[in-house]
Amino acid sequence: MTNWTPPFLDSLLLDEPLDRYSALRLGGRAEWLYIARDSRDALVRVVQSAWEHGVEVHVLGGGANVLISDHGLKGLVVINQLKHLDFQADYRLLAHSGLGLGTLAQLCAKRGWSGFEWAVSVPGTLGGAIVNNAGAHGGEMQHAILRVEWLDAEQGLQSSTLEQLQYGYRTSYFKQRADKRFLILQAELQFQPADPSVIRSTMEQFIAHRKRTQPKGASLGSIYKNPPNDYAGRLIEQAGLKGYRIGDAGVSDIHANFFINLGNATAHDYYRLIRYVQAQVYQQTGILLETEVECLGEMG
Ligand SMILES: Cc1cc2nc3c(=O)[nH]c(=O)nc-3n(C[C@H](O)[C@H](O)[C@H](O)COP(=O)(O)OP(=O)(O)OC[C@H]3O[C@@H](n4cnc5c(N)ncnc54)[C@H](O)[C@@H]3O)c2cc1C
């Protein structure tokens, strides 16, 4: 047990199961868990105190892109639900990083602000999307970003422009930073005017496309990035792995780049499936699929 007395001790949960905070509905326990609901200042104090005391910090939004170890996570896990939003002039807005992507897409649509239609049914928060450069249907998080405000464990409060954040396909400065000692607080985003009914109709098409092409059930979305000029799902299907299972972790019959928790999958099953599929595709095609999802904690 980490020797740390956090601020707002009464608001922290000890030894809390993490499966309920994971889109995959699995994972062990957090040593300490803090759910940031309304106070940005309180969140900053808790995280800074943990950093100062050498306590490892994991910040989660929707848990939609992370595989959490069965053995749980040491130190502090933050569930970021800070959702404050401020619409400004010239189709700009300031949003806290815990705001849901779907919620933001709907709120922008209502106002006739275009640029976030792609996000309508992408799970997770703005913070996770800023780290991953989430994207769909030709849109990407980086297209809306003007500036991101974040906290660095050593350097304190930072404000970075789009150019400084080194965005690429499902990657960013944040994603590449192995030490993880940062906390994204808010972003300034830019949209464009459009007819709300056109925005709505585009979003409905995207929702319908997802319903047609993606499986139901607990998953992490795409497991691997698409290799250049190809699709990970196509390569997995071609390797004959649709429906392949390890324990209760299974490759979807509908979309082979989605792996589903069929009921009682463990992170260990899921991790083995990720490695097995990667090895099979490599043996058959010479292409090494790169994982898009992130593993947290020990997978052995
Ligand atoms: C059914 C399904 C469909 C999906 N479809 C898509 C898709 O179409 N396109 C796509 O790009 N992705 C997709 N995903 C993946 C996922 O939705 C995105 O990666 C999303 O951006 C994850 O956001 P999150 O808040 O859940 O991040 P989490 O999974 O909680 O975290 C992801 C990473 O970001 C870090 N992080 C999160 N918030 C902060 C913060 N405030 N400060 C510092 N670090 C932070 C975490 O530490 C972790 O490293 C899908 C997932 C599912 C389950």
pLDDT tens across 241-254, in order?
A: 999 999 999 999 99
The token pair that represents 199 in the structure block: 């925005």
- What is the per-residue pLDDT across 185-218, written as a single tens digit (0 to 9) for each? 999 999 999 999 999 999 999 999 999 999 999 9
- The C-alpha atoms of residue 265 and residue 14 are separated, in whole angstroms, by 24
Task: Residue 161: name the closest of 140, 147, 182 by CA.
Answer: 147
Segments in the chain forming alpha helices (H) = 40-52, 101-111, 126-132, 173-176, 196-213, 232-238, 267-285
Secondary structure (3-state) at 158:
strand
Whose tokens are 């020797």? That residue is 3
Q: What is the pLDDT of residue 300?
A: 77
Q: Which domains does the chain have, with CATH numbers?
A: 9-80 (3.30.43.10), 85-213 (3.30.465.10), 232-296 (3.90.78.10)
Is 222 noted as a catalytic residue in this protein?
yes
Phi, psi (5° rounding) for residue 280?
-65, -45
The arithmetic mean of pLDDT across residues 288-294, rounded, is 98
Residue 132 Cβ < 6 Å to ligand 1: yes
Secondary structure (3-state) at 300:
coil
- The C-alpha atoms of residue 77 and residue 169 are separated, in whole angstroms, by 27
Give, for ligand 1, the residue of 68, 77, 104, 132 to mutate: max count of ligand atoms closer than 8 Å to Cβ.
132
Q: Running DSSP on this structure, what letter comes out for residue 99?
A: S
Cα(62) to centroid(ligand 1), Å:
7
H-helix or E-strand spanning residue 79: strand 73-80
Whose tokens are 């249907």? That residue is 137
**pTM exceeds cut of 0.95:** yes
Residue 22 Cβ < 6 Å to ligand 1: no
Q: What percent of the chain has pLDDT over 90?
A: 98
